[in-house]
Amino acid sequence: MDKEPSPQEMIANIWENLRRYNATPEGMSQTLREDLAFLILKQLKERGWTQKQLAQECGKTESFISRLIHTDTNVTFEVAATVLHALDIQPRLVDARALPTTQSDSRESA
């Protein structure tokens, strides 16, 4: 009979599976959607804007902005640029491995 894994082993397995998923194209795509959502939410908060105001500024529907924030939709670079332009953000893709490491993800403090 196989021994049941301990809670620590189960957690380690979950982290390992997540690490593997994040290294796939699907995982990387999810990370990009989360980064876009973070930028949008941060700017909305800083500006005191609602999703409706952003939607009006960039010519999209409020529902679409909500889907972006909840990472429920894929977007083209053109659409992402349109939304970010409305927030006066100049986006740039960089290899995350080239960024300085920090103790915690900056998204946690937003």
pTM of the predicted model as reported, rounded to 2 decimal places = 0.76
Look at the chain and report how many structural domains it folds into: 1
**Cβ(50)–Cβ(82) under 8 Å?**
no
Q: Is residue 45 part of a domain?
A: yes
Nearest to 84 by CA among 61, 56, 54, 63: 54
Q: Is residue 76 part of a domain?
A: yes
Summarised one tens digit per residue, pLDDT across range 27-66 is 999 999 999 999 999 999 999 999 999 999 999 999 999 9
Report the C-alpha gap between 15 and 31 in whole angstroms: 16
Q: Is residue 107 part of a domain?
A: no
Range of the structural domain that residue 86 is part of:
7-93
Summarised one tens digit per residue, pLDDT across range 62-86 is 999 999 999 999 899 999 999 999 9
Please give the DSSP secondary-structure letter assigned to residue 21: H
pLDDT of residue 54: 98
CATH number at residue 79: 1.10.260.40
Q: Is residue 46 part of a domain?
A: yes
Q: Is residue 64 part of a domain?
A: yes
